[in-house]
């Protein structure tokens, strides 16, 4: 085995609504950071215009542009690249109940093409558990339809306040409305991906110990605060084609830029 290149992948829920003025704060924040690929959620048409016209990216796609999706009073998702990386073959996901909230493409710039995806899961509080599970079913179907390396950035709308590295053992419960979601994040998921932060902490026990010391009641990292509850809604999931050399959550910086979610990034090394 040899290494096929390095990739810094980031994911961020920008926070909607946005009339365009707020987008310049997000723009400045993203320009201040080092990244190769960023997966964005809650992207308004105004935000996409600001990003596209102000030199943020060398290439990218937004689900609100070029796919026949009604962008009025709506938000979508986007994938952006820089540092010589490129994206091809963008696609929305068949079966996804909120078609504008998932976007996939092929990433080029490493020794192998990489399947990348940005996704914003439905909120059961607004749309119901059954609707939310249709979203998870669509994402699982996409993952299992792809060969080769995969990286996804997502706001899973998944409550996760735990500080444990051991994932939940999820048994099938016919009456459980959220079984598919819990299975996605469980110890034997219906896909071949793994949580980049969990992987990073497992390989760096001293760094994990520091995180637990800082927040003994959890979560492992703060990406969203529900009321007064610190939670981890946002994730980078990767296939076994990658090693994780670093994974960080920047909640304070992202909130200062106008969002209510942390920006998450992972430094990945492709195995070849």
pLDDT digits (tens, 9 = 90+) for 114-171: 999 999 999 999 899 999 999 999 999 999 999 999 999 999 999 999 999 999 999 8
Asked if residue 182 lies in contact with residue 140, where contact means CB atoms within 8 angstroms, the answer is: no
Tell me phi and psi for residue 130, to 5 degrees: -60, -40
Q: Supply 122's token pair.
A: 């439905």
Asked if residue 231 lies in contact with residue 251, where contact means CB atoms within 8 angstroms, the answer is: no
pTM summary value: 0.96
pLDDT digits (tens, 9 = 90+) for 36-83: 999 999 999 999 999 999 999 889 999 999 998 877 768 999 999 999
User: How many CB atoms are closer than 10 A to CB 251?
Assistant: 20
User: How many CB atoms are closer than 10 A to CB 228?
Assistant: 5
């Amino acid at each position: 085995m040899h290494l096929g290149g390095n990739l810094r992948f980031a994911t961020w829920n920008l926070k909607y609504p946005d009339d365009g003025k707020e987008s310049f704060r997000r723009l400045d924040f993203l320009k201040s950071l080092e990244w190769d690929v960023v997966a964005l959620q809650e992207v308004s048409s105004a935000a996409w215009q600001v990003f596209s016209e102000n030199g943020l990216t060398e290439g990218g796609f937004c689900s609100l542009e070029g796919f026949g999706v009604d962008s009025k009073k709506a938000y979508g998702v986007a994938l952006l690249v820089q540092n010589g990386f490129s994206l091809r073959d963008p696609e929305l996901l068949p079966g996804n109940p909120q078609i504008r909230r998932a976007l996939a493409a092929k990433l080029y710039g490493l020794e192998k093409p990489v399947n990348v995806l940005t996704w914003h899961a439905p909120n059961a509080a607004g749309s119901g558990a059954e609707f939310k599970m249709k979203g998870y079913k669509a994402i699982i179907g996409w993952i299992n339809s792809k060969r080769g390396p995969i990286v996804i950035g997502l706001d899973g709308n998944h409550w996760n306040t735990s500080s444990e590295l051991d994932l939940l053992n999820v048994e099938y419960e016919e009456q459980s409305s959220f079984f598919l979601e819990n299975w996605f994040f469980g110890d034997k998921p219906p896909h071949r991906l793994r949580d980049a932060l969990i992987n990073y902490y497992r390989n760096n026990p001293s760094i994990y110990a520091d995180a637990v010391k800082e927040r003994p009641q959890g979560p492992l990292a703060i990406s969203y605060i529900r009321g007064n509850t610190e939670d981890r809604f946002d994730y980078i999931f990767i296939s076994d084609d990658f090693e994780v050399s670093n994974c960080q959550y920047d909640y304070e910086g992202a909130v200062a830029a106008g969002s209510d979610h942390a920006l998450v990034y992972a430094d990945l090394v492709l195995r070849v």
